[in-house]
A = this chain, B = another copy of it.
């Protein structure tokens, strides 16, 4: 893939998922979430990439950032619908445009897939991420900028077993 801004962004193949798994593992550890071992995550990422519905992008030397996109056929159109499942940049490297470079590559890939829409779930206090997404045209309001906000509702089925 071509570079975005000053950071090289590259797409991960199913047999080269270790660096992406390490970043995702560190992501969850930073936010106090449980995470599988890196080797487990690496194998699962490989399975998802092989399954054809997942794109994983890495940015920077190191690498220093990762994005995971899931996609599937849409219901309301002939195209696909994409979902940014994860976006992470190492804390020491934030504020240098790595997240923006990743997001530009994400949108390039989504267009290539003929995705009609891209969705992201974002926590309210995550202001830096929200500003990044808004600067790229994303909105958390119905029909763009003038409607009411849209919430993510979630149920964890494991907690009621």
User: Which B residues are in CB contact (< 8 Å) with A124?
Assistant: 148-151
User: Which B residues are in CB contact (< 8 Å) with A148?
Assistant: 123-125
Is there an interface contact between B75 and A44, defined as CB atoms closer than 8 Å? yes
Total chain A interface residues with beta-carbon distance under 8 A: 58
Is there an interface contact between A151 and B153, defined as CB atoms closer than 8 Å? no
CB of A58, distance to nearest CB on chain B (Å)? 16
Q: How many copies of this chain sit in the oligomeric assembly?
A: 2
CB of A1, distance to nearest CB on chain B (Å)? 18
For residue A3, CB closer than 8 A to chain B, the reply is no
Is there an interface contact between B73 and A51, defined as CB atoms closer than 8 Å? yes
User: Which B residues are in CB contact (< 8 Å) with A45?
Assistant: 75
Is there an interface contact between A116 and B156, defined as CB atoms closer than 8 Å? yes
Which of B28, B115, B151 makes the CB contact (< 8 A) with A151? B151
For residue A160, CB closer than 8 A to chain B, the reply is yes
User: Which B residues are in CB contact (< 8 Å) with A123?
Assistant: 142, 147-151
User: Which B residues are in CB contact (< 8 Å) with A121?
Assistant: 119, 150-153
**Binary B-proximity of A103-143 (CB < 8 A = 1, otherwise 0):** 00001001100011111111111000010011011111010
Docked complex Cα distance between A41 and B138 (Å): 27
Show 5 residue pairs from A and B whose CB-CB distance is below 8 angstroms, ordered by the A residue.
Answer: A45-B75, A51-B73, A68-B75, A118-B157, A151-B152
